[in-house]
Structure 1
Amino acid sequence: MDIRQLRYFVEVAKQKSFTKASNILFVSQPSISKIIKGFEAELKVTLLDRSEKKVELTDVGKVVYEQALEALRLVDGIASSVNELVDMKKGNVKLGLMPTVGVLLFPTLIGGFKKQYPQIDVQMVEYNAKLLEHHVENSDIDFGVTVLPVSSHFETVPLLSEELVVIVNSNHQLVGKDFVRLEELKNESFILFTEDFILHDRVKHACIQAGFNPKVAYTSSLWDLVGEMVASKLGISLVPKSMVHRFNNPLIHAITISKPLIDWELALIYKKDKYLSYTAREFIYYIQTKNLLNH
């Protein structure tokens, strides 16, 4: 048994496909298949059920998979420790962001980090909130930036705390009011983000708590389109306060929601009990020193 067998087996099990694993590992499919067959022969068991379109773990395969993950975690931890000692200031950070969160917080933040640590590469990828947690849990990415609360499987570093506001057309009857109660919006047409967005669930839940089911006129995954529909009098929407300036449209007016206050807390998350490299620890420290909660 060797590390290569474990790594190939784990990747095929994760992807449920030899082809996808081949693309990720940059190893030919026949080579991966041969290595895993040898691994099964060595253990004298069948680890993968290849009878369907998707490759699935057998019962014994599930046990070996969990053990293999732990073994690889230990091996990768050794490699990270050695690299950390050999070259203290080099490394990379893979960061997952929800759409538009990058625009909200990270261009200036990452620019400052790169200036302080020029030899550390930061790779940013976008996922919706549900996928983002999945990828952090599977160690596909080092960190995620998402909305609290999250699963107890993660450590959290608070980033930004604010509330949701209602945006309306600048000629809307509510314009001129300093505050509005959420229940006052029960007869309005809502423009919501799609169900992939955590904001979708947050708004619907808040409305139900206020005593009504929102009348949904449109849904969209595009922030700019939501803004344009509000500007065109097609409905109202609820968005984080700091995102209002993103629309940059004089036909959009924001009003504070006085009751209830709908919290919107962003946090950096990472997997509990995961080995943190020097690079990862420095990234966390840098984020904490920026004190975004008071911005």
Structure 2
Amino acid sequence: MNLRTLRIFVEVVRQGGFSQAAATVSLTQSAISKAVRTLEEELGLPLLNRLGHRIELTPAGDIAYRRAQTMLAERQDLLVELDELKGLQRGVLRVGIPPVGSGVVFAVMFAAYRSRYPDIEIALLEHGGQKLNECLHAGEIDVAAILAPVHADFDCQDVRVEPLVALMSASHPLAGSARVDFTQLASTPFILFEGGFALNRIILDACARKGVQPKITARSAQIDFIVDLVAAGLGVAFFPRMLAEKYTHAGIWRAPLDEPHTDWHMTLAWRRQAYLPPAARAWLELAAQMRQQ
């Protein structure tokens, strides 16, 4: 068993198939298939069920996938520590951020970081919360900006807490309301972000607590497009307040969401007990200082 084969196997699972993994690791599909077969033969158990163009993990595959992620993350920690031991002068800040709200929250912070540490390279990864959690587990990034609550394997520090605001067309019957809740919005279609965005979980969990079954009419990863859909009367969307306040044109009405436990609670998370490079520690220190200002 070698780490290259394990990485190929992990990418097949994460990408959802052999052809997708081939593009990610720059190998042919046949080479990817051969590597997975070799690993299965070495372990003596099938790791994947091949279901046409889809794959799913077997029980043995689930164990192998979790262990492989840990081994690959440990390898990355080893390389980082050895680089520093060899006198690496230029660090790399590997940080993941979500598309929702990052410009408002982190743009100034990145500018301050660049001013303090001009020789540190900033390697940014932008994904929804689910993908950022996976990347952090796998050691592909050192710090991720994700919504609370965080996984038990992570430590975290708070960055910002914002209430959610409902955005609706100015012609919506509830336009003009000072506050709205999910019971009032039950008959209005919801416009959510694409799957994998943690904000969706907050909204849908709160609906479930109220016994509301929302009709989801559209999903998108593009904030401006969601706002355009709202203005066109397609449905209602939900943004953290500081992001909602950027949209003040006449076609939109903003109403604070009158629902408990729906705050947008952004944290910076990192793997518990994992090696945290100096560049990442400096990022966390800056974030803590700026939160106190």
Using structure 2 for the length normalisation, give the TM-score: 0.76
- Verify: 1:105 aligned to 2:101, yes or no: no
Q: Which runs of 5+ in 1 are unaligned?
A: none
Residue 11 of structure 1 corresponds to: 7
Write the distance in 2 (CA, Å) between the matches of 1:218 and 1:18.
30
Task: Letter of the 1:157 partner, please give it.
Answer: Q
Comparing 122-131 with 252-261, greater Cα deviation is found at: 252-261
CA contact (8 A) 1:156 1:267 kept: yes
What SS does structure 1 have at the residue aligned with 2:3?
helix
2:258 counterpart of 1:255: no
Deviations 1:233-253 (A, max 9, x none): 222222211111344533212
Q: 1:100 Cα deviation (Å)?
A: 3.1
C-alpha separation in 2, matches of 1:203 and 1:58: 32
Q: How far 1:205 moved relative to its partner?
A: 2.2
Is this contact kept in 2: 1:192–1:220, CA < 8 A?
Answer: yes
Structure 2 distance, partners of 1:45, 1:131, is: 30
CA distance in 2, matches of 1:147, 1:173: 32
Identity %: 21
Establish whether residue 182 from structure 1 lines up as the match of residue 178 from structure 2.
no
Q: Does structure 1 retain, via aligned residues, the 8 Å contact 2:70–2:138?
A: no
Corresponding position of 1:225? 225
Change (3 A) 1:212 1:27: closer
Q: Once the 2 structures are TM-superposed, how far is the Cα of residue 117 of structure 1 from its aligned partner? A: 0.4
Q: How many residues align?
A: 284
- Paired with 2:226 and 2:152, the residues of 1 have a C-alpha distance of 33
CA distance in 2, matches of 1:47, 1:209: 46
Task: Determine the C-alpha separation between the residues in 2 that align with 1:69 and 1:46.
Answer: 17
- In the alignment, the residues of structure 2 paired with residue 58 and residue 216 of structure 1 have an alpha-carbon distance, to the nearest angstrom, of 33
Q: Which has the larger radius of gyration?
A: 1
Superposition RMSD on alpha carbons, in Å?
A: 4.1
Q: How far apart are the structure 2 equivalents of 1:57 and 1:179?
A: 48
1:15-34 CA distance string (max 9 Å, x none): 3499988877789999999x
Give the aligned partner of residue 146 of structure 2.
Answer: 146
Q: Equivalent residue for 2:121? A: 121
Distance in 1 (CA, whole Å) between partners of 2:261 and 2:48 is: 53
Cα pair 1:165 1:257 within 8 Å, conserved: yes
Cα distance in 1 for partners of 2:161, 2:48 equals 50
What CA distance in whole angstroms lies between the structure 2 residues aligned with 1:207 and 1:52?
35
Q: Quote the residue 1:168 is aligned against.
A: 168
2:211 corresponds to 1:215 = no
Q: Identify if the C-alpha distance between structure 1 residues 14 and 191 changes in structure 2 by more than 3 Å, giving closer, same or farther.
A: closer
Which range moved further: 265-274 or 77-86? 77-86
